[in-house]
Chains A and B, each alone.
Chain A
């Protein structure tokens, strides 16, 4: 007992020490950075701002999809930017199909000339320009050049393919291991089988119901592992941000939306257009339904919309935070600030690993919930009994 108390008090002490240390370092840090800023202003003008802008652009660039797969880049002594990576095919629909390698853009430094048309890569988007590569802007500084339909195999598309192949390999080998090993998984399957079972027993079954959950299982499993794996790829230093891309999350949410409404039962649609059921006479329902029915119908759209925004915002925010914290290391350039932002970045990274799993879980969970709403069949008799009781 005595010993126990002792350990408790020592851990308590350690905590308070840690707290005061953190507080102290934050104070020192603010002093240092403040001082540094002043120094920057006094000394070489704009250098600090340059670094900050560079970091900001770097983060922004990292969040964007890109037409080539660059692993890293560095600046040579003569000021030349060197990229290490590989180019990806660009596929444009601009009065006919145009396919060429993204190496023609030289990372946006040069124009690509295909079939007499000139294309320029500007902020990760391809515009058709004249031979000089001039970009015209409107008042709010948006380019007014023609944007051809871009079906390029971008970095994100490559990552989708990689993830898809990984999933195919993982899960088909898991499926094969059942037949080979008499119903018991081997290798990585031992890790993934409980997750598959978790999705079945704790997401699909309780939310959709014992009778109908089976037909939704493939979608739920695919979407869970797809989001989770891509989220985890986003944690690697390769600069991949697939699930933090609005087009990706939109595509996923639209699938959930379509499945929800195409598998919707009569009861589900009745609920949309007649939410109050028989609890009111028809003349009583009219004023309420003027408000209720539009809300219900809006809810159809809002549900998947919240899905797509939630996943997009979470992943995007995580990447921004980590990028900023890593950027802070270079801004501080001090013996205290840099390790601290490193520690902070590390801690956020751990949280992000959790968030990667959590967001996949939430997306799957909510999809299952919506499917459950749509495929629900009410027992009408119960409702009538309740009314009689009233």
Chain B
């Protein structure tokens, strides 16, 4: 211990402290700060780049999944549209058929009714004409018949014979 104390040089201690502090300050300013900052920046950069790559990968996966979904959706949409179209077609056909049926029926009925009414009208007309003709004929006949008295009496007798008094 005594030897150590004897070896201890105050001057050297002074210079060492002074120079070391100076060195520490200079290195701090001109070396350690820029070095550590640069290394930090670089590490940050690497970390960010890795993160970005990871993100890009995820994004890519998302995009692929999205496009897959879109494709799936489009396919489903097409399927649906086709199905709808088919349904519409079928419905339209069915509707048309039904309508045609109804229309046809209606027309048929109308035609039948028209025919019926025409027929009735015709029959009535014929009846009228027949009646008129018959009356005319009867008139003429009666005119001819009743021209003499005997004939008029015969008719009355015939008629009275027909009546039979019931």
Contact A247 B8 (CB under 8 A): yes
14 more contacts with CB within 8 A, not counting A175-B33, A247-B9, are: A151-B15, A153-B15, A156-B12, A157-B16, A157-B19, A164-B22, A164-B23, A168-B30, A183-B45, A218-B27, A219-B24, A222-B23, A246-B8, A248-B12
Contact B12 A183 (CB under 8 A): no
Interface residues of B in 20-58 (CB under 8 A from A): 20-24, 26-28, 30-36, 38-39, 41-42, 45
Choice from A91, A171, A250 contacting B31 with Cβ under 8 Å:
A171
Chain B, interface size category, equals 20 to 34
Q: Is the interface of A mostly helix, strand, loop or mixed?
A: helix
Set of chain B residues within 8 Å of A352, measured between Cβ atoms: none
Counted as pairs of residues, one from A and one from B, with CB atoms less than 8 Å apart, the total is 126
Contact A175 B31 (CB under 8 A): yes
Contact B31 A160 (CB under 8 A): no
Contact residues of B with A, CB < 8 Å? 4, 7-17, 19-24, 26-28, 30-36, 38-39, 41-42, 45
Choice from A65, A156, A171, A255 contacting B20 with Cβ under 8 Å:
A255
The size of the chain A interface, using a CB distance under 8 A, is 45
- Closest CB-CB distance, B157 to chain A, in whole Å? 149
Q: List 13 contacting pairs A-B, 8 Å CB cutoff, sorted by A.
A: A149-B11, A152-B11, A154-B11, A156-B12, A157-B12, A167-B31, A168-B31, A172-B31, A183-B45, A246-B4, A251-B17, A251-B20, A252-B20
Judged by a CB distance under 8 angstroms, whether A179 is at the interface is yes
Contact A200 B9 (CB under 8 A): no
Set of chain A residues within 8 Å of B13, measured between Cβ atoms: 247-248, 250-251
Interface residues of A in 274-324 (CB under 8 A from B): none
- Closest CB-CB distance, A222 to chain B, in whole Å? 5
- Closest CB-CB distance, A22 to chain B, in whole Å? 35
Chain B residue nearest to A125 in the complex (CB):
B9
